[in-house]
Amino acid sequence: MFRADSESLQLLEINDKGRLILGIQSNIFSMESLFCNDSDRKYFKDEIAQKGLISNFDVEVKTADKRSVWLSIEATLFFEEGIIEGSFNDVTEGKNSYLDLQHANKELEHFAFHVSHDLRSPLKSLMGLIDSIREENRQEQLSPYFSMMKESISRMDMLIKDLLELAMLNQQSVKKEKILLEPEINKCIQSLSYLKNYHNFNFLIEIENGIDFFSDVVRIRTILSNLISNAIKYHRQDQVLVVKITGRILENKVKISVEDNGTGIDPEHQKKIFNMFYRANSDCEGSGLGLYIVKNNIEKLGGKIELQSIPGIGTSFDLEIPNTILKPEIGGESLAYIEK
């Protein structure tokens, strides 16, 4: 609960709960500084001035200690005294759940549209090719059709594989175990030997060891495999092909960089490449899910990813992933582990 000056919105009184929510120690605070943008601030002041009250006003604010909080505000103007009295509730948890649900619904709609389109298109192509084969009289004319059929089937198989991987990882909880980063990187590289031009690449691995790394090994493998496979796929023909993977294991986080000297990504596409089904190039052979899966898994681990890319020069993906160091704790007769 609070009382504030109607002109300056300077607090006159506020209870302990209010101070806790706003992150303030005293009443010396103007509510005007709460609002994240001018439109919210103007709406609050206009409603109070014109109607004498405001009700169920849900707004995102920045508290005095720099937290982002959603408030639901109720307030009344006492014109003669020049005072606003009211209350606000912290509705951050509920609001975030609602926004997460909205985001999930939008992704589900986007997902359903693309799945129906991307799965049906190869099937239609196959049916058309089969009809054409039936009409052919000479065997030597069939070979190109079989090649196109194989390409269509491969595209569909790649999409289904990525969809299954995404679905499985979204259902799995985060599991943490000790990861030997350099051997895992080598396993990921070896598992991609089926890719075209794989054997023309030089893979450089530089890992600063010394501290144990604990995280979800399945998600780490998925992240590394997708980033390294992208580096292999989008290469340039005019130079020695190099993929450089560096890692630095710190006590609270692990920094990993996957850098290539490939085709690079145009600036207009760089903000969109982590979107579901987004392809920066219409000629791309991928499903458009690889980098979405990468970001999704990094966020599940509480980490972040940044892109640096120059067209014609190369691309670097820089990752920060929390390192959950586990410490032995003796309790009773058993040896338990707790997160640091």
Query: Was domain 2-90 assigned CATH 3.30.450.20?
Result: yes
Percent pLDDT > 90 in the chain is 22
Higher pLDDT, 171 or 25: 25
Find the farthest-apart pair of alpha carbons in the chain and give their distance in angstroms, rounded. Answer: 97
CATH architecture of 173-340: 2-Layer Sandwich (3.30)
Higher pLDDT, 202 or 331: 202
Cβ(13)–Cβ(3) under 8 Å? yes
**Region 140-160 average pLDDT:** 68
Per-residue DSSP letter, 173: P
Query: Which pLDDT band holds residue 243 (cuts at 50, 70, 90)?
Result: very high
Amino acid identity, position 302 = G
Query: Which pLDDT band holds residue 246 (cuts at 50, 70, 90)?
Result: very high
The candidate with the shortest Cα–Cα distance to 42, out of 22, 29, 57, is 57
Q: How many CB atoms lie within 10 A of CB 117?
A: 10
Enter the tokens of residue 102: 């909205």
Enter the tokens of residue 15: 């209870």
Span 4-53, pLDDT tens digits: 888 888 888 899 898 888 888 877 788 888 888 888 888 888 888 889 99
* pLDDT for res 316: 93
Query: Distances in Å between the alpha carbon of 303 and those of 120, 151, 216, 321?
Result: 35, 36, 12, 4
Top-level class of domain 93-171: mainly alpha
Amino acid identity, position 30 = S
Count of residues in the chain: 340
* pLDDT for res 267: 86
Domain regions of the chain by residue span: 2-90, 93-171, 173-340
**Region 162-184 average pLDDT:** 77
Span 226-240, pLDDT tens digits: 899 888 888 887 778
Q: What mean pLDDT, rounded, does the chain reach?
A: 80
* pLDDT for res 168: 65
Higher pLDDT, 186 or 237: 186
**Helix/strand/coil (H/E/C) assignment for every residue in 29-86:** CEHHHHECCHHHHHHHHHHHHHHCEEEEEEEEEECCCCCEEEEEEEEEEECCCCEEEE
Rounded to two decimals, the pTM is 0.54
